[in-house]
Amino acid sequence: MVDTATLVVDGKEITLEVSSPSEGQDVINVASLVNEGLFTFDPGFLSTASCESTLTYIDGDQGKLLHRGYSIEQLAEKSNYMELCYLLLRGELPAQSELANFIAAVEKETVVHEQLVDICSTFPPGSHPMGMLGTLVSAMSAFYHDGLDINDPDQRMQVAIRLLAQIPICAAIVFRHHMQKERVDLRPGLSYADQFYHLMFSESNDSEVDPILSKALDQIFLLHADHEQNASTSTVRLVGSTDANPYGCIAAGIAALWGPSHGGANEGVLKMIAEIGDESRIPQYIKKAKDRDDPFRIMGFGHRVYKNFDPRAACVRATCNDVLDRLGIKDDPILEIAKTLAKIAREDEYFIERRLYPNVDFYSGVILRALGIPQDYFTVIFAVGRTAGWIAQWHEMVSDGYKIGRPRQKYTGPRQRDYVAIDQRS
Ligand code: CMC
């Protein structure tokens, strides 16, 4: 293992420390370069590790995703979202009593302020659900700001538990408002996913919860729980590094997730399939995707980090089939288009060469549509799951100590020049 690297600039040798992580690539510490009058330049952070973290490891070439060392495949098969939340926040899998206490603490925080419901009711019809969710989460700061000490680990854990408890409820309030449906009451004793399913879909307070469908939701939450330093998590950390109110930090993460290159891709998948409309039109869209002068991309294909396969996509594919079977959905034209696109990804040189595979959002979009969730609401489901990662990463950052995030730039504007009076400008 090398432990230093030498950079030669204008003949001057600069020694940089190289350290090894517990898994993955060695890391060159460039923090001292500023003392040499140099910055590094890495748009999109392709080669930049922005922090140390013990939560999640991704090996994009091998399609590997680990949370605290446990593979996503094992967690998806044997665990559930609540247990993963505990693992991410506390570092180890819980004993039975620890998990029971954690779930009880989450249940205790499920009462949201009625004013949040009032705020939601003021949104005009057609408002985007991600905008509404971000607003409600940001508004939570109004109720939990004064006296909040983010340097107190117990208070941080309380924030984490409250967000895990209340974000799904806010999401369900947004859903009911969006669908113009009456709300139902919380039903004590239901599991996390059953409660969410009930709040979203039940026609009455005592409607049955379908276990296959609520399990599918639990798995979608679990598969989306954390994904190291993606755009929204980096946003949460960056905003958190200013000591901002944590509800505001998570609201910022929700805004970052909204975009179609990130969490908005699952909505984009269904929009794109609807636009394609018919299998006969697929070749023309594939041609568009390959055309460098056309910004069109096949939504749900490709990933910044996974360059072989997305392990979450492999887990969710089986669930996708269970849900479609359970709902008796067959010969759906949308599904047929999705299947053909997935087949093309495996066979077409363009996608093979660039290592573009269907990602988790490709399949989760299909499941959510089958559940009857409107496509502009899909990213809200992603946000509910990702809450675990956002708050665990924020908690880790504050626990470990941090500097305010402040990237520099390569300035390419005009050099210094003199101001010209308006009547003398040519
Ligand atoms: N369809 C067609 N071509 C593509 C696609 C796509 N979906 N994605 C990448 N390419 C091409 C791209 O045009 C480029 O081609 P060339 O080498 O000829 O210039 C090459 O593949 C490399 O693309 P890139 O933009 O350098 O790749 P990236 O790592 O910067 O982008 C990505 C990753 C996810 C933003 C991109 O693949 C994409 O826009 N995918 C569609 C949106 C999507 O599904 N996003 C969800 C990601 S998973 C959820 C999450 O974790 O947030």
Task: Establish whether residue 397 lines the binding site of ligand 1, counting it when its CB lies within 6 angstroms of any ligand atom.
Answer: no
What is the model's pLDDT at position 108? 96
What is the model's pLDDT at position 172? 97
Query: Each residue of 208-249: pLDDT tens digit?
Result: 899 999 999 999 999 999 999 999 999 999 999 999 999 999
Expressed in angstroms and rounded, the spacing between residue 326 Cα and the centre of ligand 1 is 33
Residue 113: active-site member: no
Quick one: tokens of 293?
């002068």
Quick one: tokens of 172?
């369900």
Mutation pick for ligand 1 pocket among 224, 261, 294 (CB with most ligand atoms within 8 Å): 261
Task: Establish whether residue 263 lines the binding site of ligand 1, counting it when its CB lies within 6 angstroms of any ligand atom.
Answer: yes
Confidence band, pLDDT 50/70/90 cuts, at residue 136 = very high
Task: Provide the 10 A C-beta neighbour count for residue 407.
Answer: 11
Calpha distance 164→386 (Å, rounded):
10
Rounded mean pLDDT of 333-352? 86
Residue 303: active-site member: yes
What is the model's pLDDT at position 2? 63
Task: Establish whether residue 207 lines the binding site of ligand 1, counting it when its CB lies within 6 angstroms of any ligand atom.
Answer: no
Closest of 417, 404, 141 to residue 254, by C-alpha = 141
What is the model's pLDDT at position 360? 86
Query: Each residue of 21-78: pLDDT tens digit?
Result: 999 999 999 999 999 999 999 999 999 999 999 999 999 999 999 999 999 999 999 9
What is the model's pLDDT at position 155? 96
Calpha distance 307→34 (Å, rounded):
33
Is residue 413 scored above 80 in pLDDT? Answer: yes
Q: pLDDT > 70: what percent of the chain?
A: 100
What is the model's pLDDT at position 336? 84
Q: Rounded to an integer, what is the distance from CA 32 to the centroid of its chain?
A: 32
Confidence band, pLDDT 50/70/90 cuts, at residue 364 = confident
Q: Which of 218, 262, 310, 395 is catalytic?
A: 262
Instruction: Determine the atom of ligand 1 nearest the C-alpha atom of 362.
Output: 44
Please, what is the average pLDDT of the chain?
A: 93
Rounded mean pLDDT of 96-112? 97
Task: Provide the 10 A C-beta neighbour count for residue 314.
Answer: 17
Task: Establish whether residue 264 lines the binding site of ligand 1, counting it when its CB lies within 6 angstroms of any ligand atom.
Answer: no
Confidence band, pLDDT 50/70/90 cuts, at residue 138 = very high
What is the value of pTM for the model shown? Answer: 0.90
Quick one: tokens of 114?
């009625």
What is the model's pLDDT at position 261? 87
Calpha distance 36→15 (Å, rounded):
11
Calpha distance 209→206 (Å, rounded):
9
What is the model's pLDDT at position 344? 86
What is the model's pLDDT at position 110? 95
Q: Which of 194, 226, 310, 361 is catalytic?
A: 361
CB 186 within 8 A of CB 205: no
CB 333 within 8 A of CB 278: yes
Is residue 345 scored above 80 in pLDDT? Answer: no
What is the model's pLDDT at position 1? 56
Q: Got the DSSP string for 103-121?
A: HHHHHHT----HHHHHHHH
Burial bucket for residue 260 (CB in 10 Å: 0-12, 13-18, 19+): middle
Rounded mean pLDDT of 353-382? 89
Task: Establish whether residue 298 lines the binding site of ligand 1, counting it when its CB lies within 6 angstroms of any ligand atom.
Answer: yes
Query: Each residue of 286-315: pLDDT tens digit?
Result: 999 999 999 999 988 888 888 888 899 888
Q: Which of 67, 303, 310, 395 is catalytic?
A: 303
Is residue 331 scored above 80 in pLDDT? Answer: no
Query: Each residue of 31-45: pLDDT tens digit?
Result: 999 999 999 999 999
Helix (H, G, I), strand (E, B) or coil at 28: strand
Closest of 358, 376, 359, 378 to residue 368, by C-alpha = 378
